[in-house]
Amino acid sequence: MDWITCTNSFVTVVDHGSLAQAATKLNTSSSALSKRLTWLEQQLGVQLLKRTTRSLAVTDAGKLFYQRSARLLEDWQQMLAETTSTYGEVSGVLRIGAPLATGSRLLVHYLAEFIETYPNIQVELHTVTPGQLPDHNLDVFISRELTDFNSASYIATRLFTFQPGFYAAPGYLDSKPHISSPEQLSQHNCLLFGTHGHEQEHVFENNVRLRLRGNFTTQNPEALVSAAVAGMGIILTGEKMVQRELCKGLLVPVLPALKQPISAAFAYYPKLEYNHVKTKLFIDFIKQKANAE
């Protein structure tokens, strides 16, 4: 008996809900699994499972042990895979976190090619609302610079820069007064992102300040872009966020010289005792693709 084998057996039993199914998964017998579980409970001095001939239930101690051990086992398997594999053979689950706008409008644009390049990597994309800090179980989090993030436990690497500007559908611009100066934006309907109401003040280069007004506001980036494509108004966003719409002519720049100050996107990932190869592959891939556009 050993800790890793018995702990893995316990996690598998909980995942499958029965000894028989777990035994099939692990290519062993139910009696062998039962012995491993008994050994594990004896070593811990607590009951992890309540077992009868017809049912199986996880105790409170078992739930706590499962939550921590499942993650540790996955990290162990990942460490083994990354130690023995070459870049082309890397496998495992990559948990990526990002604000909703970045995840749905930017990262998804690159993920298809990334997965095609590294078919043995399984991707989980977790999105958060603006201002929400990421789950610490993520492998990497893509965001603007986070001033209150724990730099003692996480590494930050700069991915790319961006400058939000104005974009609108050609049909909208054809039916509205011509825009030749920033002040004329006040005559137009601006589609606004966030929860700050239908009037927002934004700062641009050369200390230009504009108060934008509109009849549509949302925290959903897909809805915002769709509204702009439908001709509902003008949006303020990064060029990378609307690259597909620009390429198809669905949106065009408005006052191209008017940009917000340059911002940067960073990748945050935990400091580990071993090299997290799949995370590094993803970061390098995003850097290359985003900066090539």
Residue 41 has pLDDT above 60, yes or no: yes
Give the residue among 191, 290, 283, 190 at the shortest CA–CA distance from 240.
290
Structure tokens at 65: 């042990």
pLDDT in tens, 96-119: 988 888 887 888 888 889 999 888
DSSP 254-280: ESTT--PPPEEEEEEEE--SS--HHHH
**Bridging pattern class, strands 92-99 and 56-58:** unpaired
How much is the average pLDDT of 60-69?
89
Question: How much is the pLDDT for 33?
Answer: 85
How much is the average pLDDT of 59-75?
87
Residue 86 has pLDDT above 60, yes or no: no
Banded model confidence at residue 225, pLDDT cuts 50, 70, 90: very high
Using CA atoms, how far residue 117 sits from 38, 76, 88, 271, 290, in Å, is: 44, 24, 9, 25, 16
pLDDT in tens, 152-180: 677 888 998 899 999 999 999 998 888 99
Placement of tokens 């603006």 in the chain = 130
CA distance 289 to 116: 14
Q: Are 259 and 139 in contact (CB under 8 A)?
A: no
Question: How much is the pLDDT for 2?
Answer: 85
Give the global pTM.
Answer: 0.65
CA distance 56 to 54: 7
Please tell me the total number of residues recorded for the chain in this structure.
293
Give, in degrees to the nearest 5, the angle at Cα 127 between 263 and 143: 20
CA distance 94 to 107: 13
Structure tokens at 286: 């995003």
